[in-house]
Structure 1
Amino acid sequence: MGNCEQRVPEENLEIVDLAALLHDIDDWKYQSDKEKPTKRAVAFLQSESVPDDKIERVMTIIDCMGFKEELEGKGSRSFSVEYGCVQDADRLDAIGAIGIARCFTYGGHKLRPLYDPDVPPIDSMTKEQYMDPNRPNTTINHFYEKLLKLRGMMKTNAGKRLAEERHAFMETFLDQFHKEISGRG
């Protein structure tokens, strides 16, 4: 997020910091009951006596920044620089070398197959498809269904610039993966 700090007004840096730190605490992917989202972020902020108006601004960022929200159009509306910085930082973490490592770690945790040529990726996925835990999926498909799309979803100039190199690295990785899996590399 250091690349965004010069654009965020000083009085709003705490909003950015809080949203960045708390944005995954209630993430649906980590919830056991997907139908009852928790509000631990709000409870934490209230326990720290954060003013209600600041909590509202933090939660506005958190509630709209996920990939699934972008699939339904929430994340593509006009946005504040604070929102853009937090969302871009989160997305930059998901791509490039560290993003590849995270992808395989999460796929292994979820016991997803690495690759299956009989399970093609979904090109234009809906929010419902993305969230469906019973949908056949592979870790490699996740690159095509989400990670390779993130470069085009960056909001800030810094995010767009940093995403280029990370995106290219993922493409190189996938090219090599497909060569090796097909016996050509």
Structure 2
Amino acid sequence: MNLSQVAAAFRPFDTLAAQLLPQVEDDAGDGSHDLSHLLRVWNNARRLQAEEGGDLRILLAAVILHDCVRVEKNSPLRSQASTLSAQRAQEILLSLGWTREEAQRVAHAVQAHSYSAQITPLTLEAKIVQDADRLDAIGAIGVARCFYVAGRMGSSLYEALDPQAQQRPLQDTRYALDHFPAKLFRLQEGFQTAAGAAMAQARQEKMRGFVEQFLGEL
């Protein structure tokens, strides 16, 4: 696909998308943070915006740039990833002629989207971007992404003798199954918008059902 074809998927903001997409660092083969991820987060954000309101132009810029600086999940710099992306996003937007206030609104949404950064979103757009990104981490897509990332990092499916971590600490960098109680099951508690919370509940039920089936086959 060429840039115009990709940008067209972000209509009616395809012109803006065509400016921003080349600024995103190469995904280095990371299929959990690729174009399909951006499109899913954008679709989530549009659904939430339809219910909650918010500036779609700000939302699009924040969605496309929310991972514009790539940091691997197992990197010691992981907690700084959203801050690095926010700084880069602001630089990009200022270079494109955005006002400082607009660029800062986008940068805040980018910085606050991250679970590991633990930054409270203060604007409606930041709340929507955080919810939209977290929705992509749960449900059927979330299950697929969890095991994809685990395989990419060389993790095992589960700890053979204690898969539910009843007598050991959770180690989600070593075992994919541990990532569900360690993080994914906790995401539902932190949704910022009513629309996001409703969508999260449905996806959470699907994800819990999968884990129950998984454990039932051991």
Q: Distance in 2 between matches of 1:8 and 1:55?
A: 19
Matched, 1:5 2:49: yes
Q: Distance in 1 between matches of 2:143 and 2:75?
A: 25
Q: Distance in 2 between matches of 1:138 and 1:103?
A: 10
Within the candidate set 149, 154, 174, 1:137 is matched to 174
Matched, 1:115 2:171: no
Q: TM-score when scaled to structure 1?
A: 0.76
Residue 94 of structure 1 aligns to a residue in which SS? Answer: coil
1:28 to partner: Cα distance: 3.4
Q: Distance in 2 between matches of 1:180 and 1:31?
A: 29
Matched, 1:92 2:140: no
1:157-168 alignment, distance < 5 Å: 157-168=194-205
- Residue matched to 1:132: none
Determine what percentage of the aligned residue pairs are the same residue: 32
Within the candidate set 104, 121, 125, 1:56 is matched to 104
Say how many residue pairs are matched: 164
Q: Structure 1 residues 157 and 179 mapped into 2: Cα distance closer, same or farther (>3 Å)?
A: same
- Residue matched to 2:213: 176
1:26 to partner: Cα distance: 2.2
Q: Distance in 2 between matches of 1:32 and 1:113?
A: 18
Q: Distance in 1 between matches of 2:94 and 2:75?
A: 24
- Residue matched to 2:89: 41
- Residue matched to 1:29: 72
**Which residue type is aligned with residue 4 of structure 1?**
L
Alpha-carbon contact 2:138-2:203 (below 8 Å) kept: yes
1:167 to partner: Cα distance: 0.3
- Residue matched to 1:68: 116
Q: Structure 1 residues 44 and 110 mapped into 2: Cα distance closer, same or farther (>3 Å)?
A: same
Post-superposition CA distance 1:147-169 (Å, at most 9, x none): 11111111111101111111001
Q: Distance in 2 between matches of 1:97 and 1:159?
A: 16
RMSD of aligned residue pairs (Cα, Å)? 2.7
Q: Distance in 1 between matches of 2:186 and 2:76?
A: 28
1:179 to partner: Cα distance: 1.1
Q: Distance in 2 between matches of 1:53 and 1:16?
A: 14
Q: Structure 1 residues 86 and 162 mapped into 2: Cα distance closer, same or farther (>3 Å)?
A: same
- Residue matched to 1:104: 147
Residue 158 of structure 1 aligns to a residue in which SS? Answer: helix
Q: TM-score when scaled to structure 2?
A: 0.66
Post-superposition CA distance 1:51-94 (Å, at most 9, x none): 22111111111112211123xxx32xx63211111111100011
1:4 to partner: Cα distance: 2.4
Q: Distance in 2 between matches of 1:165 and 1:50?
A: 38
